[in-house]
Structure 1
Amino acid sequence: MIVGVLPDVAHEYHDSLSRLGLLVTMFALVYAIFTPIITSVASRWKRHHVLLVLMVVFFIGNTWSAMATNYTSMLLSRMLTAAVAGAIISMVLVMASYVAPRNKRASLVSWVFAGFSIASVIGIPIGTVISTTFSWHDSFWMISGLTIFVFAALVWLMPRDSPQYKSTLSKQFTLMTDKRVLLGVIFIITICAADYTIYTYIRPLITNVMGFDNTWLNWLLFGMGIFFIIGNKFGGFLADRGGVHRLPTVYAVMTVLYLLLGPLLQFKWVAILIVALLCVAFSSYGSSTQLMFLDIAEKEYPQSLDLASSLNSIFANIGISLGSFTASETVQFTAMTNLGYVGALYGILGTILIITLSKQYKGMQYIVK
């Protein structure tokens, strides 16, 4: 939601949009640093108890954001929220994998990842409407209210007996010595960096560069969320039919789309179509890489299962941090219309990495026709 309200926050704080873009960068960086630490330490206690405690911290951090009156307060509140957000997602993914029949895991995991897209469909447009109609503070109050609802639902519905392995931080990280895992996480970094080279400034790109008004902005953000959901479900489809071995084509196409975006931004409907297709590509990797990490951990590093469940979200946020930082630096020195070329550079690297990974990882190949 923060990407939809950044211009309003910048206006209230009398600060530059490029500096406010660092809120996205810092959130992602703190998320990436604290997720493996909290996930590993939390393995000593019942997973459902830890999840509820983390939800309380999330509520406190988000409510602080709603009350923030200056840049420093906003930054610190976002850092507190980020510190627990990744561990929450990691635990939910483990529980989802546990309750699903093995032949339904890809589908269920894709729905968990679709939560991000549903947030885009609902959160960004509604948050933007609330921000432009009332105040961006009220957008964060909305999230605090939803957190209370989710907390109650978790108390009622979440499983109490998901399997756990008590492990030290060093034992958890033995997973990171596996070459396939390293290729996978660097690939995720590059794709999410590509994503946030444009997504960090999606609102000014749509309004200032493409020329759509604020009424169209909300509908277009809604449409982007729909295409993110399509991408997640397409990713689940791919995970059932070859997984990571199907992804090289997707990211080669993504790179070409990025190269086309810059010169076609002046044709606003063509540009929006390209952005829609990019949304599908951005969100197609999640189910395949998540199931690959869990497969490797279950077979060779069972003590690292909790860490394996969090790798997607950890390194996605490192990629988001890198992409949003790259974007904020780019717009300081060149036109916003050049962001697509920066995304293409990340796309080229990501395509090379996923081709290499496809050759290294032998799982899922039996269903590739």
Structure 2
Amino acid sequence: MKLFKIQSLILISIAFVLGCSEYMIVGILDNLAKQFQSSISQIGYLVTGFALVYAISTPLITLTIGKKSLYQTLLILLSIFIIGNLLTVFANSYLVLALSRFITAASSGACIAVALAFANFIAPLKKRGWLVSWVFSGFSIASVFGIPFGTWVSSNYGWRYSFAAIVLVSLLILISSILILPKNIHQKSSKNLKEQLNIFADRRIQVSMLLPMFNLAGIYVFYTYLEPILSHILLIKANSLTLALFLYGLMALLSNQLSGQIATRAGLRIMPEIYIGQFLLLALFPVFTIMPMIGMMVIMLLGVSMYLLNSPIQIFFLTVAERDYPQAMVLASSLNSIFANIGIALGSATGSIATEYFGLDKIAPTGSIYVLFALALTLFLKHMVQLSPEHLGRFNKL
């Protein structure tokens, strides 16, 4: 049990450092814009590009894993991730910065997919939802501690030192992974790529994989520009900005922890009510910001709602794959990340366009449109399959 806890900590730490690297841009938009003499919206497109590369590269890489050692695969991906962030540290132009972010993105998606596959293999059935929620919480812990710390470092010493810290932590995680993670884990072998791709012919997968996309598209229209919203709309002073980002990160961490509870007790059945609440918060956001204190409370509530889908949908994907497509476990593990990042790309691009043409105060209502799509998909999926409140392991065969 002690070894399981240490291995779990390593997997959570991997998610943490991946989250720090992915989200860091959100906290240093202004600094990067000044460094490379670009507009905030142009720097915001780095978030879009990162997410697109992440989403495109992840299935291509996971499909090639086959019966290869997940241990060796994870070490290779972590090494590429470190190289990408090291290139970011020394980027001397916007083009080099974008290239470094794309290298990092290409390794990040497959890396978290393999980490989640590890979680599925090493965790006892009763602990699976717990471990999956904590792996996702690694991203939220990055929001709580990594992003505010990186923002503070960037403001006081320069943004390059923020990514240098990511490189250092990543090296420590790589060494820990080499020493502690099990070396004999493989997914069931498949005859060819087509056998793995059969999972996409399943109607449950076809509908459910769109859920993470619209879920994060709605929130990322707003979240990509959280720092400018806090400083320019709610007029948060520079010395309080780190605290505000820290509080938002705490809400995101709470969101992932609640997500684990939802996966265990209610599954996807409760998501329609959550999406209705999220829609109202985004649609009415300009009204709430008339009073900064209320606006801040609404932002915190949006933080709580941000990741509630993560564990229920991840357990759903893994359950379908374990039962009907065991040769595609790593691919199934990546579906949430793949389509969540397509959603991030869609949402951040929409936010960039809305900011450029309508202003910061109009971007949140734009995101509410995507939330309506997520609501409709959840209701359709509920009618398509019988969602078990235990861990979604029982559903009608379609």
Q: TM-score range, shorter-chain basis?
A: over 0.9
C-alpha separation in 1, matches of 2:84 and 2:75: 14
Asked if the contact 2:187–2:328 (Cα under 8 Å) also holds between the matched residues in 1, the reply is no
Per mean C-alpha deviation after superposition, the further-off stretch among 225-234 and 241-250 is 241-250
How far is 1:21 from its partner? 0.7
SS at 1:255 equivalent: helix
Q: What is the CA-CA distance between 1:277 and the residue it aligns to? A: 1.0
Superposed, which structure 2 residues align to 1:166-177 within 5 Å?
Answer: 166-167=189-190, 168-177=192-201
Q: Gaps spanning 5+ residues in structure 2: where?
A: 1-23, 393-398
Equivalence for 2:176: 153
**Residue 242 of structure 2 corresponds to residue 218 of structure 1:** yes
2:380 matched residue in structure 1: 356
Selected match of 1:19 from 25, 39, 42: 42
Name the residue aligned to 1:241. Answer: 265
Q: Which of 111, 114, 132 is the aligned partner of 1:88?
A: 111
Task: Find the aligned partners of 2:92 and 2:292 in 1 and give their Cα distance.
Answer: 36
Query: Normalized against structure 1, the TM-score is what?
Result: 0.97
Moved more, 226-235 or 173-182: 173-182
Whole-Å separation in 1 of the counterparts to 2:209 and 2:241 = 33
Query: AA paired with 2:136?
Result: F
Q: For 1:14, what is the secondary structure of its paired residue?
A: coil
Q: Write the distance in 2 (CA, Å) between the matches of 1:44 and 1:34.
A: 19
1:278 aligned to which of 289, 295, 302: 302
Structure 2: how far apart are the matches of 1:130 and 1:263? 34
Establish whether residue 255 from structure 1 lines up as the match of residue 279 from structure 2.
Answer: yes
Match of 1:5 in 2: 28
> 1:296: how far off?
0.7
Q: Deviations over 1:201-248 (max 9, x none)?
A: 111100011101112110111111111111111111111112111211
2:234 maps to amino acid: M
Q: CA deviation at 1:169?
A: 3.0
Structure 1 residue 300, shift from structure 2 partner: 1.4
Query: d(CA) in 2 for partners of 1:149 and 1:233?
Result: 26
8 Å Cα contact 1:2-1:24 kept in structure 2? yes
For 2:293 and 2:71, the matched residues in 1 are separated by 46
1:342 is matched with 366
Residue 185 of structure 2 corresponds to which residue in structure 1?
Answer: 162
Which residue identity lines up with residue 59 of structure 2 in the other structure? P
Task: Provide TM-score, normalisation by structure 2.
Answer: 0.90
Q: Which residue pairs with 1:208 in the alignment?
A: 232
CA distance in 2, matches of 1:163, 1:45: 6
Q: Distance in 1 between matches of 2:389 and 2:158?
A: 51
Q: Matched residue of 1:68: which SS?
A: coil
Q: Which amino acid aligns with 1:93?
A: L
| Structure 1 residue 366, shift from structure 2 partner | 6.3
Instruction: Name 2:312's counterpart in structure 1.
Output: 288
Contact 2:264 2:389 in 1 (8 A): no
Aligned pair in 2 of structure 1 residues 298, 367: CA closer, same or farther (>3 Å)? closer
Is residue 2:151 matched to residue 1:128?
A: yes
Counterpart CA distance in 2 for 1:366 and 1:230 is 21
Distance (Å, rounded) in 2 between the aligned partners of 1:254 and 1:198: 12
Q: Give me the whole-angstrom Cα distance separating, in 1, the residues matched to 2:66 and 2:390.
A: 34
CA contact (8 A) 2:58 2:338 kept: yes
Identity %: 36
Deviation string 1:154-187 (CA, Å, 9 cap, x unpaired) is 1122122224123333222211122221221111
Query: 1:217 & 1:10 partners in 2: Cα distance?
Result: 18
- The one-letter code matched in structure 2 to 1:342 is T
Counterpart Cα distance in 1 of 2:385 and 2:134 = 24
Supply the AA of the counterpart residue of 2:189: K
CA deviation string 1:86-122 (max 9, x = no partner): 1110011111111111111111100000011001011
Q: Is the 8 A contact 1:37 1:169 kept in 2?
A: no
Provide the aligned length of Structure 1 versus Structure 2: 368
Counting only pairs closer than 5 Å after superposition, residues 252-331 of structure 1 correspond to structure 2 as 252-331=276-355
Shift of 1:260: 2.1
CA distance in 2 between counterparts of 1:61 and 1:169 reads 28
Pick which of 163-172 and 63-72 moved more: 163-172
Corresponding residue for 1:58? 81
User: In structure 2, what is the Cα distance between the partners aligned to 1:125 and 1:365?
Assistant: 36
User: Which amino acid is the alignment partner of residue 371 of structure 2?
Assistant: G
Q: Distance in 1 between matches of 2:256 and 2:389?
A: 21
Question: For 1:45, what is the secondary structure of its paired residue?
Answer: coil
Q: Distance in 2 between matches of 1:193 and 1:136?
A: 27
TM-align CA RMSD: 1.3
* Counterpart Cα distance in 1 of 2:52 and 2:273: 29
The answer as to 2:75 corresponding to 1:32 is no
How far the C-alpha of 1:349 sits from its partner, in A, is 1.1
Which moved further from structure 2: 97-106 or 77-86?
97-106
Counterpart CA distance in 1 for 2:60 and 2:202 is: 19
**2:222 aligned with 1:198:** yes
- The one-character-per-residue Cα deviations of 1:258-308 (angstroms, maximum 9, x if unpaired) are 122121112111111111111111110011000000111111112211111
Distance across 1 between alignment mates of 2:330 and 2:387? 20
SS in 2 for 1:240: helix
Task: Assess if the C-alpha contact under 8 Å between 1:185 and 1:315 holds in 2.
Answer: yes
1:75 aligns with: 98
Q: Which moves more between the two structures, 252-261 or 27-36?
A: 252-261
Alpha-carbon distance between aligned partners in 1 of 2:366 and 2:272, rounded to the nearest angstrom: 19
